[in-house]
Amino acid sequence: MLVVHDVTKIFGQNIAVDHASFVVDRPAMVGIIGRSGAGKSTFLRMMNRLTDATSGEIRVEGRNILALNGTEKRAWQSQCAMIFQQFNLVPRMDVVSNVLHGTLNRRSTLASMFNLFPQADIHKAIDILERLGIAEQAPKRAEALSGGQQQRVAIARALMQDPKIILADEPIASLDPMNAQIVMDTLRRIHEEDGRMVIANLHTLDTARRYCDRVIGMRAGRIVFDGTPEQLTTGVARDIYGADESFSEASTSTSLETLETAAYREAMLTT
Ligand SMILES: Nc1ncnc2c1ncn2[C@@H]1O[C@H](COP(=O)(O)OP(=O)(O)O)[C@@H](O)[C@H]1O
Ligand SMILES: [Mg+2]
């Protein structure tokens, strides 16, 4: 389904991504981990063509998406929605309008200028908000919501595009542990229920272990680990993070475990 072949990105003297290759043969939930500067964001930005690769290929269902131009490139960009650490919502605009902005790429400039949305899209937006448990927030300004709610609005906006792949760049790095868990549960659910591939850059080991089927470890632009959460031992993690003997798992933990109860998860998924 996804073949990353020998992808490199060079900024001046600096190799941000260094001959990266990996294959994902089904719509898995993939976590990319590594310390700051390892090349995680650059990789996601190449995937959805926010930045051009220096060399290499990324094949999705056989097509090299790095070679697409014009209309085809824009079509690809709407098939791989991106979610960011800082949510990237329009703060003063209401929640529904923020979600509807996920359809901007397929509406005319004039309709966009006057904020004219088809009824069908408005219904779809509200259905998605309902699914993510935040429909009652729909008329509020985005800035009035908590961080966890704002990130769910960003996920709703991504779903408006009906993407094949959801790319998430540190989606929980600005959230407290409780909201981090709600957002990760939401991504996992979208993956399981819709069969969409999710690729998330994660700054904590425990989150990757807990939510992902597959973990890619990057260090200084290179892929130094590619395996299952079970294979991601402390020794491997130490290698990925380039840490010495003093490396501790706690330093890369979001301590979600303290909130772990089945009842809690259940409640969050049904509200
Ligand atoms: N636009 C850019 N111009 C120059 N260097 C960049 C740019 N974006 C990222 N880099 C460099 O590329 C490397 C990888 O960065 P990044 O992909 O942001 O890593 P990560 O997301 O893992 O923290 C870093 O050394 C960073 O300084
Ligand atoms: Mg980054």
Pick from 206, 188, 197: nearest CA to 248: 206
Q: Is the CB of 119 under 6 A from ligand 1?
A: no
pLDDT at 256 over 50: no
Q: What is the mean pLDDT of residues 240-256?
A: 63
Q: What is the mean pLDDT of the chain?
A: 89
The structural domains of the chain, ordered by start, are: 29-50+79-270 (3.40.50.300)
Q: Is the CB of 254 under 6 A from ligand 1?
A: no
**Of ligand 1's atoms, which has the minimum distance to the CA of residue 169?**
21
The per-residue pLDDT for range 105-119, each reduced to its tens digit, is 666 666 666 667 788
Pick from 94, 214, 109: nearest CA to 142: 94
**Of ligand 1's atoms, which has the minimum distance to the CA of residue 51?**
1
Residue owning the nearest CA to atom 16 of ligand 1: 39
Distance 51 CA to ligand 2 centre (A): 14
Residue 189 is which amino acid? Answer: R
Using a cut of 0.85, tell me whether the model's pTM lies above it: yes
Ligand 1: which of 9, 42, 170 to mutate, judged by most atoms within 8 Å of the beta carbon?
42
Place of tokens 């993956």: 191
Ligand 1: which of 7, 10, 11, 240 to mutate, judged by most atoms within 8 Å of the beta carbon?
11
State residue 203's pLDDT score: 86
Letter string b/e over residues 237-267, b meaning 16 or more CB atoms within 10 A of that residue's CB? bbebbeeeeebeeeebebebeebeeeeeeee
Of the listed ranges 197-206, 241-250, 252-261, the least confidently predicted one is: 252-261
